[in-house]
Amino acid sequence: MVVYSEHVALNLPTSDNIYEKRRTRSWKRQWHHLSKLQKNCIYIFTALICITLFYILSNSPDETAIDVQVEENQLKPVIPLELKFNEKFLEDQERVIEDPKDAELVNVNGVIPKDKRRTTFSGPSTSRQVAVVKAFKHAWKGYRQYAWGHDHLKPISKNHQDWFGLGLTIVDSIDTIYIMGLEKEYLEARDWIDKHLQFDINRDVNLFEVTIRVLGGLLSIYHLTSDRMYLEKSVDLGDRLMACFDTDSGIPFSDVNLFTRKAHSPKWSPDSSTSEVTTIQLEFRDLSRITGDPKYEDAVSRVSQLVHNLEKTEGLVPIFINPNTGQFRFASTITLGARGDSYYEYLLKQWLQTGKTIDYLKDDYVTAISGVQERLVRKTVPNGFIFIGELLNGGKDFKPKMDHLTCYLPGTLVLGVHNGLPDSHKKLAEDLSTTCYQTYARHPTFLSPEITYFNIQGESSNDFYVKINDAHNLLRPEFVESLWYMYQFSGNSTYQDWGWQIFQGFENFTKVPNGYTSIGNVRSAIDVRPKDMMESFFLAETLKYFYLLFSDDPKLIDLDKYVVNTEAHILPIHNL
């Protein structure tokens, strides 16, 4: 029964399979009715579908492949914020490093571990340094919150300003951060530079400013850490800036488009500034010495040599020079302030950077300082303060005016004396320091104005006066810089105390809730007229020099091993 029933069950036609049979027969019939061409088309179409299916299936990710992708992503610095600055996390990521001196070694997320960097700093050691670090953190917090990745913070409007679009404050500040021992801030600045600082931007930039702030900043932190990421960025930037030197004379144009690499004079003049074309040598030479490619050093050395060969007024230079003719602009002003200042500074520092091997640089420097003493130094009435004035009309007229910028000179002078240059330079440095100090101390804000005029004819009972349009303070560093050098080479703590008083001036009158701001008027403690701008040099230079000045370690930055560029970036002396 069972078999029967099975048999019946298996063979009994249902309406369904009758229909199925009919349908199969009808397909077969239709197939036989197709022409050869139609059949071939169907064969090809089927073959194509099969090939496509095979391709898709053989390329679909299997589980192992997905694992690898995830792992690679974890190695990239896309790290949750709270982990990013976690020491433990960083330690876990570190690869075993055989030779800590090897500049190329990095851990897996690209950061050289703290103890494997070329130079390490342990943070503030005096209470004054602690106060400076606090000021730095306050400035950094505002910048981070309202201007991150932009050039400058506008702390009052909680906004930003872009000059070149190169994140100037980050690049300019990173070595200050490093010297202050601020690891968390260092890592976030490094991370931004690594991932976001790029130079292929269609934008005109100023050769001098970008060299001293960006190239100088990158080279400095490269030397301190030996992290090659900074060097790679430096080379890219250096190559783009090189377009400026393609002129008839070899004197560079002032501006260059970083993307097109086309250089040109400023819009307002056919000339370049003398101080600008002569204050790029430390950085370009350093780049050559590190990379072994002489082209950077050759270009800037040629500029120095050309300027060396020009006629001067007792070693003093006019402030404009033409890139086509290679000549100074006739009868332009001679000053140790704006557009003249760092020409003199880089004569000395280049000589030091090259292990005192290029004599004409030292000779030009010594001649120029004699020229300053002969032609520019005057005494005020009634108190006999020494200041450095300006020469107009090809040296015919003397103007009793001194920019705050000139207050860098005492520092440079004692650096020269420390390296064997005439002792008379020391007296000038001390006298000028006293005067610069007075330009701070005599104002109720304890801050210096941008420009001061001096009384040399007894026309008033005041030694100096300030015009209303010159009464601003841009948070500049020059005198604090000099105080550091003066203290380094004398050990006289008065210079530290002066610096502390000035630091209080900045704290009391330029500090605002989201940073520090330039002010428009140092002459009044109740009407300082905040200007809503925090320049990158406040963090790069002013706060760095305060920090160095207040250190009890005289070798925190060893001035027998390093030269400090005009933007306070630290470059090694290359002894041959």
Smallest separation (angstroms) from ligand DMJ to the CB of 61: 53
- Helices (H), strands (E): how many in the chain? 23, 18
Nearer to ligand DMJ, 380 or 479 (CB): 479
Smallest separation (angstroms) from ligand DMJ to the CB of 172: 9
The angle subtended at Cα 80 by Cα 76 and Cα 85, nearest 5°, is: 90
Nearer to ligand DMJ, 472 or 476 (CB): 476
DSSP string for residues in 544-571? HHHHHHT-S-TTSS-TTTEEE-TTS-EE
Count CB neighbours of 11 within 10 A. 7
Nearer to ligand DMJ, 335 or 342 (CB): 342
Nearer to ligand DMJ, 288 or 406 (CB): 406
DSSP string for residues in 315-374? TB-BSEE-TTT--BPTT--B-SSTTTHHHHHHHHHHHHHTTT--HHHHHHHHHHHHHIII
Greatest CA separation for the chain: 141
Smallest separation (angstroms) from ligand DMJ to the CB of 106: 31
Smallest separation (angstroms) from ligand DMJ to the CB of 280: 11
Going by their DSSP bridges, the two strands 255-257 and 204-206 should be labelled as antiparallel
Q: How far apart are the first and last CA of the chain?
A: 112
Distance CA 402, CA 419 (A): 27
Q: Is 450 a catalytic residue?
A: yes
Smallest separation (angstroms) from ligand DMJ to the CB of 536: 8
Distance CA 131, CA 576 (A): 40
The residues near 508 (Cβ < 8 Å, ≥ 6 apart) are 445, 446
Residues 75 and 43: beta-carbon distance below 8 Å:
no
Per-residue exposure over 287-301, b if at least 16 CB sit within 10 Å of its own CB, e if not: bbbbeeeeebbebbb
Smallest separation (angstroms) from ligand DMJ to the CB of 568: 7
Distance CA 118, CA 519 (A): 39
172, 191, 209, 271: which one is catalytic? 209
CA 538 from centroid of its chain's CA atoms:
12
> At 293, which helix (H) or strand (E)?
none
The amino acid occupying position 205 is V
The amino acid occupying position 361 is L
Residues 476 and 434: beta-carbon distance below 8 Å:
no
Nearer to ligand DMJ, 112 or 559 (CB): 559
Nearer to ligand DMJ, 342 or 438 (CB): 342
Smallest separation (angstroms) from ligand DMJ to the CB of 222: 20
345, 478, 541, 567: which one is catalytic? 478
Burial of 220 (0-12, 13-18, 19+ CB in 10 A): buried
The amino acid occupying position 299 is A
Smallest separation (angstroms) from ligand DMJ to the CB of 195: 26
Smallest separation (angstroms) from ligand DMJ to the CB of 516: 14
Q: Is 478 a catalytic residue?
A: yes
Cα torsion 268, 271, 276, 281: sign = positive
Nearer to ligand DMJ, 185 or 478 (CB): 478
Coil/strand/helix, residue 453 = strand
Binding site for ligand DMJ (CB under 6 A): 342, 405, 476-478, 537, 541, 566-567
450, 463, 541, 567: which one is catalytic? 450
Smallest separation (angstroms) from ligand DMJ to the CB of 538: 9
204, 341, 345, 463: which one is catalytic? 341
Q: Report the candidate in 537, 519, 539 with the shortest Cα–Cα distance to residue 529.
A: 519
Nearer to ligand DMJ, 364 or 567 (CB): 567
- In the numeric block, which tokens belong to residue 291? 């990379």
Nearer to ligand DMJ, 482 or 566 (CB): 566
Smallest separation (angstroms) from ligand DMJ to the CB of 111: 29
> At 92, which helix (H) or strand (E)?
helix 87-93
Q: Report the candidate in 396, 388, 428 with the shortest Cα–Cα distance to residue 412.
A: 428
Catalytic residues: 209, 341, 450, 478
